[in-house]
Amino acid sequence: MILGVGIDIESIQRLKRVREGVRRRIIDRILTEKEKRYCLGKIDPYPHIVARFCAKEAFVKALGVGDTWSISFKDVEILGHPPRILTRGKAKKILEEMGAKKVHVSLSHTSDYATAIVVIET
């Protein structure tokens, strides 16, 4: 049974246009160390960074907790190829309370936009 579905889309150029110091703080706030290593190892890391941000936003929407600031970005980690979501902290606790057994994520990007969809099921 599907418990929740979330989707998000963001402009990649929006992150690229931010001043370098601010951009670095944004990346440090939303990505775990493993995610940073993966993304920053790419020739163009920005589509990968923004796709992970989208996945985290879509995950919170799928949880149905109301606002995306109620869960730390670092409590949701997107790793692997194909991507999978790992949770900890409050994100993990909410999934357990929902009775969730599976979390599916799909990422996609072009040169301009990144998107992600998350499906949570029993």
Active site members? 61, 109
Burial per residue of 18-49, b for 16 or more beta-carbon CB atoms within 10 angstroms, e otherwise: eeeeeeeeebeebbbeebbebbeeeeebbbbb
CA dist., res. 113 & res. 84, Å (int): 20
